[in-house]
Amino acid sequence: MNQPAPAAPALSPAQSTNSPVPRFVLAAITCPRCEGSGRLPQFRHVEAGRCFRCQGAGQLSVGRVA
């Protein structure tokens, strides 16, 4: 009654465990909201005008698969 488990299907070359893993590349760009200053003077009453998009750094890290 207890039957053996079916064999696993063979992997194609693209799925093999020897294929390289795609690399994730980070690049820094100037924050479009604060234009690289890290501050927004019109919001100086909120956290001294710190840009929430870049967290005050003036740059954003964007990534892509290479």
> 3 in a domain, yes or no?
no
In the chain, the number of structural domains is: 1
pTM, whole model, 2 decimals? 0.56
58: its two tokens: 């003036």
> 63 in a domain, yes or no?
yes
> 39 in a domain, yes or no?
yes
The neighbour count for residue 53, using CB atoms within 10 Å, is: 13
Task: Indicate the SS3 state at residue 31.
Answer: coil
Say which residue the tokens 């465990």 belong to. Answer: 17
> 7 in a domain, yes or no?
no
> 2 in a domain, yes or no?
no
> 24 in a domain, yes or no?
no
For each of the chain's 66 residues, which pLDDT tens digit applies?
Answer: 567 666 655 555 555 556 677 677 788 899 999 999 999 999 999 999 999 999 999 999 888 766
Domain holding 41, by residue range, is 33-66
> 41 in a domain, yes or no?
yes
